[in-house]
Amino acid sequence: MCRNIKPLYNFDPPVTENEIRAAALQYVRKVSGFNKPSNANQAAFMAAVEEITAATSKLLDALETTAPRKDREVEAARRRARSAERFAR
């Protein structure tokens, strides 16, 4: 999985539409191999981003859990610590 796509479910505060769209954009970039598509591919690229954004929103709305919500700041600190450890080697 692309390292830039982060888990979006079960966080406090809840995920925003912009965060969902950013993850969808990152996914489409990874799958297509385009960071910025050509004019010929722009419409298909953006349509895919919108479809994945909608599907992701639908998925996140449908999921249920009894687990407590995770704190974004605590999770970000854990990611930074893991990254520092990984790249310190």
Q: How far is CA 72 from the centre of its chain?
A: 14
Domain range annotation of the chain: 11-88
Q: Tens digit of pLDDT for each residue in 56-66?
A: 999 999 999 99
- The SS3 call for residue 6 is coil
Taken in order 20, 24, 25, 29, the sign of the CA dihedral is positive
Q: Tens digit of pLDDT for each residue in 4-25?
A: 677 889 988 899 999 999 999 9
Run of H or E residues at 71: strand 70-71
Q: What is the pTM of this model?
A: 0.79
CB atoms under 10 Å from CB of 61, counted, come to 7
Q: Do 28 and 79 contact (CB within 8 A), yes or no?
A: no
Residue 77 confidence (pLDDT)? 92
